[in-house]
Structure 1
C-alpha cells in the first residue's frame, strides 16, 4: 500500500517541518507540500518532494484538495493530512500505516482513520466533551468527527464523498467532511492505541474553571461565520449545534474582555456573525 502525506504550510518553522519530512521519506511515503505562505519555501526541500504554492492563501480546504488530487494522480492508496505544527516520530508513522490498513479491514466503508490527539500545551489526550465515541474492537473508536491533522483517508472514497468544502476556507472543514461522509454511510474512526502530538491554537486561557483555546483574531471571523453556516444543515449533528449555540456568547465575552486585541477580536466576531447570517462563504473580504 502506498501512503502520501499532505502537509499544509502557512509561515512554517523550518526545523520541525524538515524533521517530519525526513521521517516520512525514510518510511517510503510520498510527501506533498501545499504552501499557503506568500513567500516560497520550495528551496527548503529536495527534488523528490512535491511542492505546490498558493501565495495569496487559498485556505486550508483548497490546499488539502490540491494535495488529495495530486496524491490520487500519483496513485497513492492513502493520504494523511498533516498540519505543520504536529510532531511525528518513527514509531507513530509505522503504527499509523499498520493501524490504518487494519481499520480498513475491520470497518466496511471506512472514510477516515485518525490517531488520538495529544495537546502540546499539557501533553494530555484531547477528548470529546459531549459526544463520546463508541468503543469498538482492537482499540478503535467510532467517532462523529476527527481533526484534520493525522486524518488518513483511503483515496478510493473521495469520488463518492467528495473533497473538502473550500467555501468554509479553514474552520470546521474537517468536521464537515466527516459528517458528510457519515451521511453517505461511511465510518470515521479514532485510534486509542496511536497518538499524535499536536498544537491547537496559539495559547490557552483558563477562566472560571474552563480552558479556552485562544487563536489569531482573524480566526474568530471564520469560526463564528462557519458555525452559523453549518447550523442550517440537516446532516450536522444536533449536539454540535446545541453546544455551539451555548458557546458562542461565552466565547464572545472571553475574547472581548479577557484577552489581548479585544477590540479587533470583537470586530472580527461581528463580521463573522453578519456574514454567517447571510450564508456568505469564501475568504474574508479584507484578508490579504
Structure 2
C-alpha cells in the first residue's frame, strides 16, 4: 500500500511544519505540500517533498484537490489531509497506516478514516455533543462527518464521491464532502486507537460560564455564508441545520458584542448573511 500526506499551508510555523514532515517521511509517507501563502515556503523543504504554490490563496478546498489529484496521478492508495498546525507523532502515523487498512477490510464502503482529535487547548478528546458517533467492536466510531486534518481517504472513492467543493472555499468543506459520501452509501469512521493533537480555532474565551471558540474575523464571513448555502441542500443532516439555525444568532451576539474587533466581526457576519442569501460562493471580495 502507498500512502501520501497532503499538508495545506497558510503562513505556517517553520518548526512545526518541518517536524511533521520529518515524522511523515520516516514513517514512509510521501509528503505533498500545497502552499496558499502569498510568499512561497518551498525554500524550507527538501526535494523529496512534492510542492505546489497558490499565491492567490485559492482556498483550502482547492488546495486539497490539488494534493488529491497529485496523489491519484502518482497512484497512491491512500491520502491523508493535514492542517499545518496538527501535531503528529511516530506512533500516530504507524497506527493510522495499519488501522485504515483494517477499517477498509471490515467496511469496504469506507470513504474516510480519521484519528480521534485531541484539543490543543485542554488536552481532551473532542466528542460531539449532538449526534454522537456510534462505536463498534473493532474500536472504530461511525459518524456523519469528521474534520479534514488527519482524514485519510482511499483514492479510489474519489471517482464516485468527487473532490472537495471549491466554491465553499474553507468552512464546511470537510463536512460537506462527508455528507456527500454518506448520500452515496459510504462510511465515515474515526478511531479510538489513534489520537491527533489539533488546534481548532485561534483561542478560547469564557463568557457567562460558557467557553467559545475564537477565530479570525474573516472566518465569520465564510461560516455565515456557507451555513446559508448548505441549509438548502437535502443531503445535509437535519440536526446540523437545526443546530446552526440556533447557533447563528448566539454567534452574532458573542462575536459582535463580547469579543475584540467586534465592529469588524459584525461587518463580516453581515456580508456573509447577504452573500449566503444571494448564493454567492468562492473567495470573499470586499467590494461585492
Q: Report the TM-score when normalising by structure 1.
A: 0.98
Partner of 1:11: 11
Partner of 2:209: 209
Residues 63-112 of structure 1, C-alpha deviations (whole Å, 9 max, x = no match)? 00000000111111000000001000100000000110000001121000
- Structure 1 residue ranges (4+ consecutive) displaced by more than 3 angstroms after TM superposition: none
Shift of 1:135: 1.3
2:137 and 2:20 map into 1 onto residues whose CA distance is: 30
1:201 and 1:215 map into 2 onto residues whose CA distance is: 5
Shift of 1:286: 2.8
Partner of 1:124: 124
Partner of 1:168: 168
Partner of 2:137: 137
Residues 229-252 of structure 1, C-alpha deviations (whole Å, 9 max, x = no match)? 000000000000000000000000
- Determine helix, strand or coil for the equivalent of 1:137: coil
Partner of 1:285: 285
Counterparts of 1:1-288 in structure 2 under 5 Å?
1-286=1-286
Q: How many residues align?
A: 287
2:24 and 2:193 map into 1 onto residues whose CA distance is: 20
1:247 and 1:210 map into 2 onto residues whose CA distance is: 13
Q: Report the TM-score when normalising by structure 2.
A: 0.98
1:205 and 1:184 map into 2 onto residues whose CA distance is: 39
- Determine helix, strand or coil for the equivalent of 2:236: coil
1:203 and 1:132 map into 2 onto residues whose CA distance is: 25
Shift of 1:208: 2.6
1:151 and 1:286 map into 2 onto residues whose CA distance is: 32
Shift of 1:257: 1.0
Shift of 1:213: 0.7
1:180 and 1:4 map into 2 onto residues whose CA distance is: 23
Q: Which runs of 5+ in 1 are unaligned?
A: none
Shift of 1:120: 0.3
